[in-house]
Amino acid sequence: MPTLAQVTAGDANLELILKVLPALVVILLAAAICGRLALMMMQPRVLGEMVAGVLLGPTLFGQLFPEAQAAVFPAEVRPVLYVLSTIGLTLYMFLVGAGLDHGASPPGQGRRTGPLAVSGIVPALVLGSCVGLLLWETLSRPDVSRWEFALFVGGALSLTAFPMLARILYERGLENSPLGKLTLVAAAVDDALAWCVLAVLSAMHLDAGPGDAVRTIALTALFAVLMLKVAAPLLRPLGESVARTGRFGPGAMYAVVLVPLTAGWITDWIGVYAVFGGFVAGLAMPRDPAFRKALHGRMMDVVSTLLLPVFFTFSGLNTHLDGIAGGPMLLAFAAILAAGFCGKYFGCSLSMRALGFGWRESYAVGALMNARGLMILIFINIGLAQGMITQELFAILVLVAIVTTAGALPLYKLALPERYERAHESEPAAPEAPFLEEQPEKSHSS
């Protein structure tokens, strides 16, 4: 009877599969356990999955069982995890873009959306950039300019976990209320602007000179225009067909998978990373609610259950928390966390108060807008992959993501307990929420 080693000898592909599959099993088990623990602690499942990725990295698993970690995640497995995570992120951002109702502004809210969106991005961007300027010598790579580093920190802190915010509002029946509509649109605008900042930084960092950077930015803008003005009308019959039948046929399914992957390939070729292409492809999808619900139902479970835990683990393998031990690094972490928290939480809260909302509603929106969730992890992974940031800054911003995400729901409930929340509940029945970052539900699991 031949041994396993004899069977795999000379077959590199089979040998790689027998290394990748155990890694995926470990990743999914850790994500499932930590996700369930997070729900038990009244936290979003995504927070547990984020923590699971960090625990599987060098800080805990690698520290306590270095030989086991090296066996589960050998060097040849990590490129496979990177490919799977990139596909997962591209499809995730596609679903986020497809879930945005960017074509409609909340009735009567136009003049309110702008100030809240500005307060959601400008204070965090400014405070984060100021902290980045001060910490440049401590945390930056030598080939990254002071202003580029500062803008990266500010851009990362200006993000909002839009899917998580939307999920909370849907589950609490607030998505059709003035409060919910205003918050959703403002968060979507904030994230779109933050991705624009990263696109500009990526173009400037990766290209040889200003001319190449301008070329990259121009090609990105042209790609977005073509997708939204040319591809979007061509996709409308697809939306009408799915809305009419209520399901995706094989041809429709091929289209909705090919479009984001092709868009990601094009933006990667341009030089601004595949997730941008996936997001723009989502914006180009038909806006029919029935189409969006069917799309979410077919794709989100696979993306969230299989591919995103791989991304969290890939991020965790790059997170060296021991690198931020010591006084100076802990002070840097405290400064960045304070800049992000004050910029988002107080900026949005004061803006909501100025718009005529009560203090409870204002602080509740500030708490939701302050969560960074998965969005900042995508942002900083791009920065690390493109050589814009150090491992130390990456680890600090991973902690910022975990802390702000963990604080969002408790701060929201503290500001707006259920007895006050009822006054803001939506009148129409809420459709199924087309968003990923799950929250603990009132009566059943997400």
pLDDT at 97 over 60: yes
pTM, to two decimals: 0.78
Res 106: pLDDT: 47
Pick from 200, 191, 198, 202: nearest CA to 371: 191
pLDDT at 115 over 50: yes
pLDDT at 408 over 90: no
pLDDT at 444 over 90: no
Res 346: pLDDT: 94
- 147-165: string of b/e by CB count within 10 Å (b at 16+)? ebbbbbbbbbbbbbbbbbb
pLDDT at 27 over 90: yes
At the top level of CATH, the class of 81-303+328-424 is mainly alpha
- Summarize pLDDT for 43-55 with one digit per residue, the tens: 888 888 889 999 9
CB proximity list for 422: less than 8 A, separation 6 or greater: none
pLDDT at 193 over 90: no
Mean pLDDT, residues 150-173 taken together: 79
Confidence grade of residue 430 (pLDDT, cut at 50, 70, 90): very low
CB proximity list for 325: less than 8 A, separation 6 or greater: none
Confidence grade of residue 15 (pLDDT, cut at 50, 70, 90): confident
Mean pLDDT, residues 154-171 taken together: 78
Residue listed under structure tokens 């038909």: 286
Res 358: pLDDT: 87
DSSP code string of 253-290: HHHHHHHHHHHHHHHHHHTS-HHHHHHHHHHTS---HH
Res 210: pLDDT: 58
Integer Cα distance of 319 and 244 in angstroms: 47
Token digits of residue 33: 């356990």
Which of residues 105 and 40 earns the better pLDDT score? 40
Residue listed under structure tokens 């623990």: 37
Its sign, for the CA torsion 144, 145, 149, 152, is negative
pLDDT at 431 over 50: no
- Summarize pLDDT for 345-404 with one digit per residue, the tens: 999 999 989 888 889 889 988 988 888 877 888 888 888 888 888 889 999 999 998 898
Integer Cα distance of 133 and 114 in angstroms: 28
- Summarize pLDDT for 298-346 with one digit per residue, the tens: 888 888 888 889 988 988 888 888 777 777 888 999 999 999 999 999 9
The answer to whether 87 and 261 have CB atoms below 8 angstroms apart is yes
Q: Read off the amino acid at residue 165.
A: L
Pick from 379, 376, 375, 368: nearest CA to 436: 375
Res 442: pLDDT: 43
Integer Cα distance of 167 and 329 in angstroms: 34
Give the highest mean pLDDT range of 7-11, 78-82, 179-183, 355-359.
78-82
Res 439: pLDDT: 45
CB proximity list for 58: less than 8 A, separation 6 or greater: 69, 317, 319, 320, 322
Mean pLDDT, residues 4-28 taken together: 80
CB proximity list for 24: less than 8 A, separation 6 or greater: 306, 310
Please give the C-alpha separations between residue 415 and each of 103, 360, 372, 419, in angstroms, as whole numbers: 31, 5, 19, 11
What is the average pLDDT value for the chain, to the nearest integer? 82
pLDDT at 219 over 50: yes
Pick from 410, 43, 92, 9: nearest CA to 264: 92
Confidence grade of residue 130 (pLDDT, cut at 50, 70, 90): very high
User: What are φ and ψ of residue 174, in 5° steps?
Assistant: -110, 0
CB proximity list for 146: less than 8 A, separation 6 or greater: 133, 136, 140
pLDDT at 162 over 60: yes
Crossing angle of helices 359-370 and 162-171, in 10° steps, is 130
Cα maximum dimension of the chain = 78
What 3-state DSSP class applies to 115? helix
* Of 75-84, 163-172, 404-413, minimum mean pLDDT range: 163-172
Token digits of residue 345: 């939480």
Res 185: pLDDT: 78
Mean pLDDT, residues 249-256 taken together: 84
Integer Cα distance of 409 and 412 in angstroms: 5
Q: Where are the alpha helices (DSSP H) in 73-109?
A: 78-99
Res 290: pLDDT: 84
Instruction: Work out the angle at residue 195's Cα, subtended by the Cα atoms of residues 191 and 200, and round it to the nearest 5 degrees.
Output: 150
pLDDT at 215 over 80: no
Map out the domains of the chain as residue ranges: 81-303+328-424
